[in-house]
Structure 1
Amino acid sequence: MTRILHVLDHSLPMHSGYTFRTRAILRAQLAKGWDVRGITGHRHAAPGPLEEVVDGLHFHRTPGESTGGHPLLREWRDISAHADAIDMLVRQWRPDIIHAHSPVLNAIAAQKVAKRHNIPMIYEIRAFWEDAAVGNGTGTEGSPRYWLTRQLETHAVRAADAVAVICEGLRGDLVARGIDAAKIIVSPNGVDMDQFGTPVPRDPALTAQLGLEGADVVGFIGSFYDYEGLDDLIAALPKLVRARPKAKLLLVGGGPCEQALRDRAMASPFADHIVFVGRVPHDQVEDYYAQVDILAYPRKSMRLTDLVTPLKPLEAMAQGRLVAASSVGGHRELIEHGVTGTLFAPDDPPALAAALAGMFADRGFWEERRAAARAFVERERNWSSNILRYEPVYRQLLARPEGARAAA
């Protein structure tokens, strides 16, 4: 039985798009008959033992926690601690393949161990760390730190035996850096249709509790980061309400921008049309999808959003919801305008309002649109089929002569 060790930033029981993708990968690989475990670094903040099974998945933790000091020194200490934990697990469990997932700190730690034990390693990039830092407001494009992180990323990709990325945008960027295209596979974001593909009916009691009876409901369910453009969604509301007086905005989730968004909403002349729910348990998320007519994703235009495809629009499509999204590169890779969703200009609240008002004004296409979007997810973004993309790469790595493996 093939043993695969996944090296991770964090995992369940923490909830994020990162952990849900990891869960889907590990579950699909277990169903394939492979023996699978994960090990997380110091950024895994959930309390728990150093070895635990969560939702049927086996995880190990790196002991200790990040200490203070200069960020670069702290990160190198984290890499060293993570590498030590990976090395100990490798000696005990003897995996056949190490599958490291971004950020690049995980790849650096994993590559040390892979080289020492002569184990093939695949590095999977979900976003470039330097661009994610800009998107999260913790970094600046073009800064020395940004440049250094980009160099580390490129080095890690060159040193890996194989590379997986979640979308064509990331693949194209790596090829432009001089990485051999044959070394890269695209393993796109997907939805576990067995778990998330059966929409639940709208709960009238929840509708009443949220004050959404008879409303045209626009919703966002996810993390509140600046790059998501939720400020533009709030700014678009006055024009939308003037066109659709029953329109309401339902915001489910939380994050760094939550208080700023609440303040912006309170200052809006249509504050009574905005409903903040906060974070909800993952097993209740489907109940909130059922309350929404149109899921809106007004991501701002920047390198992160142009290169990276999000997961949330796929979940909305799987739930049979209509999708409206800004026409950044990551969205264009997922959504075909007029077929599976509606695209509008990014960073443009009037364009967003017009797109939403137009969708509410013409409900004749709704059922056909929902069916086309769901069919797209089932056909091309279903984890049960996405998992097949890893198998030939794993086989090639295991078949390579020891001397043919990439040098770190």
Structure 2
Amino acid sequence: MALRQTPLTLLARALHNTPVAASDAVRRWRSDPARLRLLLEARLPQPLRRVSRPRVDSAGPGAAPEDASSIRRRVEELAAREQTVAAGAQLLRLTPDDPYLALLQARVLRAAGSLTEARDRAHDAARAKGRPARAARHLRDTLSNELELLTPGPLPTTGAPSYTSVVGTPGRILHVVTNSLPLTRAGYTIRTQELVAAQRALGLDAQVVTRLGYPVTVGHLTAGAFDRVGTVPYHRLLPLTPLPAHPVAALRAHATALEGFVRSTRPALLHAATNHLNGRVAHEVARRTGLAFAYEVRGFLEDSWLARHGDQPGAPATDNYLRTREVETWVMHQADLVTTLGDAMRVEIIDRGVNPDRVVVVPNGVDSRFLDSDDDGSVVRARLGIRPDEFTVGLISTFFDHEGIPTLIEAVSLLARDGLPMRLLLVGDGPQRESLERQIASSGVASTALLPGWVPFDEIPSWYAALDVFCVPRIRSRVTELVSPLKPIEAMAMRRPLLASDVGGLREVIEPSGGGLLVAPDDPEAWANALREAHSDEGARRRWGDSGHAWVARHRTWTAVAEIDRAAYERLGAT
């Protein structure tokens, strides 16, 4: 049981966690102050955040002259947001003798994925004197460690680690993840919760451990060493000592802490989920303890990065992209079992040389609260002021670039101009929120669009039910061609008809289920036509909804998904 959260308990936790919080803040500040500012800003309630992102257009030709400090600040913020093309353009406005020029060039190169070149530029900047040189030395050291971290191979160790075998407890599975509910909510954390809960319902003693320092490192100073969400136990690795300043040393500390936890709990298998940092730590501990190691590929980290840098020339040739791909692939090769979300992802993993016999598809699923829901969405619609006769389309998502939400906004705007207004409901939040709000304001749909932010987890079915059509307007990119998201499965379970971009990760869900219509990605006119068709044909919407629901009920319950994992664990002798 978790400790009762009395004021004294919370104070004790805060004191315990202060070294971790302080060391993490110092490390982030030295590495990239602008990124830390953005991180802190993102944790504020939406009304308290800055109204807009850096205004690059205000600094274009003909604009009033600016002092160098304002330009430097803009470069730092653009680099921190990974808007590297705009950041590079701003760099050209600084004079060649600006004392911060080399440091800022290194920051932009880092954001652009050119880590080796960024390290070398930071090294040049560190030869000078004064404040820029001190910051450059910190950046150079950080980049050197990041490059070492992206070198495939066993985790670098210091001293002589123990290689004493652990006798695992049959059926005890330890999931090694980045973050979790109840403190972080995303598709990643929901999958962990639902998959582990289903495994436990099947009789496995499945447990979860999060990365070293989490959730203190994301602002929860009074976090304890244990949480339970429903039936799922979550363990936290929260040391009394500060976290190491450099990434490789921090990963070694993570492995040491995880090893101690593993030796005390004696799982039969370590099941690490994306990304390679979790995988390398779990692999190292498996080596030291003789336990089986599974790696769950929930996405391809390098392709997610590439999707955010689509306008950047040469992004696929950067060492960040290539080396991340290489180290992720190395972890896959070390695993006794590789699980992943869909057929396209499995093919990609096999194409990287992983033995097909060790690669198993364990897709996303849903639970009974979606499949058995009879919620008609009327309570949510009334709360939002949506009339029963108003046709409402939208999505529930984290607002990332690859989700393609601007395409949906433009499609709704086109229909409004053609005399077919509809309500647009965008539930969620994320890096694109401010730009989406600006697009809505300028496209003529501000009076019909709603962005309520994140909603309580228990209310999610009601928000699906409030939509007449659930939309997944993802852009065409490597990540969307490969990765199948969770939200369309939940929407189909709620009998919501789907309109989804015709990309691989969605095609492998829509085609077998008959749950909706595939639409050309990145094409607002095609999306407007699809929305018009869905609006005019209530019978088609009903057929799509019923077909999708039946398919999910047969193939995509979390119980069925967890059975796949259990069978794979059994083949490894872990049950």
Q: Please indicate, yes or no, whether the TM-score normalized by the shorter chain is above 0.5.
A: yes
One-letter code aligned to 1:283: D
Aligned twin of 2:175: 6
Is residue 365 from structure 1 mapped to residue 535 from structure 2 by the alignment?
A: no
1:68–1:116 Cα change, 3 Å: closer
Q: Secondary structure at the match of 2:510?
A: coil
Question: Which one of the candidate residues 240, 262, 266 is aligned to 1:90?
Answer: 262
Q: Secondary structure at the match of 2:395?
A: strand
Aligned twin of 2:382: 208
Is residue 199 from structure 1 mapped to residue 373 from structure 2 by the alignment?
A: yes
1:200–1:79 Cα change, 3 Å: farther
Question: Which one of the candidate residues 319, 322, 343 is aligned to 2:497?
Answer: 322
Question: Which one of the candidate residues 205, 211, 229 is aligned to 1:35?
Answer: 205
Question: Which one of the candidate residues 442, 460, 472 is aligned to 1:267?
Answer: 442
1:33–1:352 Cα change, 3 Å: same
1:286–1:338 Cα change, 3 Å: closer
1:66–1:130 Cα change, 3 Å: farther
One-letter code aligned to 1:130: E
The structure having more radius of gyration, on CA atoms, is: 2
1:203–1:304 Cα change, 3 Å: closer
| Alignment RMSD (CA, Å) | 2.2
User: Deviation string for 1:252-272 (max 9, x for gaps)?
Assistant: 110010011001101112321
Q: Distance in 2 between matches of 1:162 and 1:54?
A: 27
1:27–1:127 Cα change, 3 Å: same
User: Deviation string for 1:29-82 (max 9, x for gaps)?
Assistant: 11111112111114543632122222221111122599697xxx42x2342232
Is residue 220 from structure 1 mapped to residue 220 from structure 2 by the alignment?
A: no
Q: Distance in 1 between matches of 2:452 and 2:237?
A: 34
Q: Distance in 2 between matches of 1:399 and 1:250?
A: 45
Aligned twin of 2:277: 105
Q: Which moved more, 1:305-314 or 1:206-215?
A: 206-215
Q: Distance in 2 between matches of 1:390 and 1:206?
A: 36
One-letter code aligned to 2:210: T
One-letter code aligned to 2:573: L
Q: How many residues align?
A: 395
Q: Distance in 2 between matches of 1:244 and 1:360?
A: 13
1:120-135 counterparts in 2 under 5 A? Answer: 120-135=292-307
CA contact (8 A) 2:251 2:281 kept: yes
Segments of 5+ residues of structure 2 without an aligned counterpart are: 1-169
Aligned twin of 2:194: 24
Q: Percent identity?
A: 35
User: Deviation string for 1:231-258 (max 9, x for gaps)?
Assistant: 1111111222245624111111100100
One-letter code aligned to 1:334: V
Q: Distance in 2 between matches of 1:66 and 1:272?
A: 50
Aligned twin of 1:377: 552
Q: Distance in 1 between matches of 2:515 and 2:382?
A: 30
Segments of 5+ residues of structure 1 without an aligned counterpart are: 401-408
Provide the TM-score with structure 2 as the length reference.
0.65
1:399–1:370 Cα change, 3 Å: closer
CA contact (8 A) 1:200 1:286 kept: no
1:141-152 counterparts in 2 under 5 A? Answer: 141-152=316-327
CA contact (8 A) 1:66 1:78 kept: no
Question: Which one of the candidate residues 458, 471, 487 is aligned to 1:312?
Answer: 487
1:116–1:145 Cα change, 3 Å: same
Q: Distance in 2 between matches of 1:66 and 1:331?
A: 43
Aligned twin of 2:54: none
Report the structure, 1 or 2, having the larger strand content: 1
One-letter code aligned to 2:376: R
Q: Secondary structure at the match of 2:291?
A: coil
1:352–1:182 Cα change, 3 Å: same
CA contact (8 A) 2:394 2:424 kept: yes
Query: By how many angstroms is 1:203 displaced?
Result: 5.0
Q: Distance in 2 between matches of 1:157 and 1:340?
A: 33
CA contact (8 A) 2:199 2:559 kept: no
CA contact (8 A) 1:102 1:125 kept: yes
Aligned twin of 2:81: none
CA contact (8 A) 1:218 1:250 kept: yes
Q: Distance in 2 between matches of 1:180 and 1:29?
A: 25
Q: Distance in 2 between matches of 1:271 and 1:154?
A: 45
Q: Distance in 1 between matches of 2:233 and 2:541?
A: 42
Q: Distance in 1 between matches of 2:466 and 2:458?
A: 15
Q: Which moved more, 1:237-246 or 1:92-101?
A: 237-246
Structure with the larger RCO, 1 or 2 (CA within 8 Å, 6+ apart): 1
